[in-house]
Amino acid sequence: METVERVARSFVNGSPIAGNGTTAITDPASVRERVGAFAESDANDVDAAVRAAHAAQPAWAALGAIERARLLTAATQALVPSVDELAQLLTREHGKVLWESVADLRGGINTYAYYGGLAERFATELVIDDHRGHIIEARRPMGVAAVIVPWNFPSILCALMLAPILIAGNTAVVKPSPFVPLTLVALLHAIAERLPAGVVNVVTGSAIEVGVALTTHPLVRKVSFTGSTATGREILKQAASTLKNCTMELGGNDPALVLASATVDARLVSEIGKAVFTSSGQICYGIKRIYVHRSRYAAFVSQFAEYTNEIVVGNGRDSRSTIGPVNNKPQFDRVNALIADARAQGATVRALGKKADASSWDDGYFIAPTVITDIAHAADVVTCEQFGPVVPIIAFDDEDEAVMRANDSEYGLAASVWSDDEDHAFALGARLEAGSVFINVHKLGASDVAMPFGGFKQSGIGRGHGFIALEEASELQVLAKRINL
């Protein structure tokens, strides 16, 4: 019996759309292996999706936040039995190891439940009766929201944007990444089928046509985007023509500062190593550069290299693998170019770790975990967001120098300070130009869903996570009867 290929299709007002042909999705661990395909939608499909969301929005808003939360939580909890099966699919299309896929899926489902729990607080109006008169402050929905999802953690990053948008009374059109659309589209279709038609719609396709049509559509009032700073700039330009509200979590070049007061031991090295290499370094707020006090530098580099050398790189479905390949060819080429540039500059570049299957290494986008030392602070691999399994380590002589170097970046998403003196670490952390500063931790999970999250400088606009995400997804309205004018 012939197996039917899985195709991610746009989903509008409760019904799938065929699209204009399909584009293949291949396994990053074996690029000749086809996993499925996504349908190429066009501007007409986007228009249909936005108009369906626009038509559905008044009735969705009229349900009230508590009922919206009940429906959304029920719809997303129904996905729990599918997690293990979907994790296999996500690993095949993304490349990440299986436990990371499970964490992505479970994290997304838990995020919907978390925001469902905030509905009563969100629905509560502030009523003031005083000498000024009767005043009501309330949150109101914006209308139709565009949700543009990145490829690195599609389930949880979609949920962090979509959940507050829906609880706030908006409807949504979601655009998955063309690199990793299959699992997310399956999730969104299952959610959409359990909600009123038109509340959640999906459009698949390229950023050039589908993305631009979405961010310039006059009926879209809110754009929520997670992705690169370069793409964020383009979306802002596109959204400016109709002054859309934009919330953006953008790129990061996140520093870790290991102070003289830190004990360099197995725990510290392991914690930093996980923050560097989990998901092959493809985490927005993962550590991208490490600054170590010169008195601790030699010990740290030695122990960190030993830790890195134990990492096993291979197919994400292989139980031996610690990390998988990077997700796509452009990222594979970019990371390798950064490594080659560091070598050309005379840096010490060590490709470490072990290959789970050396015979299949050249079949996928595998990159050995790479540690770079003896590198200038101005080198590209230090100043950019590598988004791969590579990290530079640089010595510093005093804390003012460390803070200066950490802040010397267009980015400001996250940072971490490592010290046995936590009071001092908190004080120094307050000097860092980053939206989140972690103390003696930085790995996946350090930013809890209840903690506001976003970046300084070119790392973003607005905040997500926590209750503030509901405020970012709504308008503040004041109703007032004034007396004593």
Residues identified as active-site: 175, 249, 284, 385
Question: Are residues 363 and 389 in contact, defined by beta-carbon separation less than 8 angstroms?
Answer: no
Nearest in space to 417 (alpha carbons), one of 249, 272, 295, 299: 272
What are the angstrom distances between the C-alpha of 462 and each of 221, 278, 362, 411, 431? Answer: 16, 26, 41, 14, 20
Nearest in space to 338 (alpha carbons), one of 268, 387, 290, 409: 387
Task: Please give the Cα distance from 373 to 379 (Å, whole number).
Answer: 11
Task: Please give the Cα distance from 35 to 232 (Å, whole number).
Answer: 29
Question: Are residues 283 and 386 in contact, defined by beta-carbon separation less than 8 angstroms?
Answer: no
Question: Are residues 392 and 372 in contact, defined by beta-carbon separation less than 8 angstroms?
Answer: yes
Look up residue 187 and give its amino acid: L
Task: Please give the Cα distance from 367 to 328 (Å, whole number).
Answer: 12
CB environment 445-477: b (16+ within 10 A), e (fewer):
ebbebeebbbbbbbbbbbbbbbebbbbbbbeee
Question: Are residues 463 and 472 in contact, defined by beta-carbon separation less than 8 angstroms?
Answer: yes
Task: Please give the Cα distance from 469 to 164 (Å, whole number).
Answer: 6
Task: Please give the Cα distance from 421 to 423 (Å, whole number).
Answer: 6
Structure tokens at 41: 């939608």
Q: Rounded to the nearest 10 degrees, how much is the dihedral formed by the CA atoms of 14, 16, 20, 21?
A: 160
Nearest in space to 143 (alpha carbons), one of 166, 125, 122, 121: 166
Task: Please give the Cα distance from 21 to 12 (Å, whole number).
Answer: 17
- The radius of gyration of the chain's CA atoms, rounded to the nearest angstrom, is 23
What are the angstrom distances between the C-alpha of 421 and each of 258, 290, 425, 426, 456? Answer: 12, 19, 6, 9, 26
Length of the chain: 485
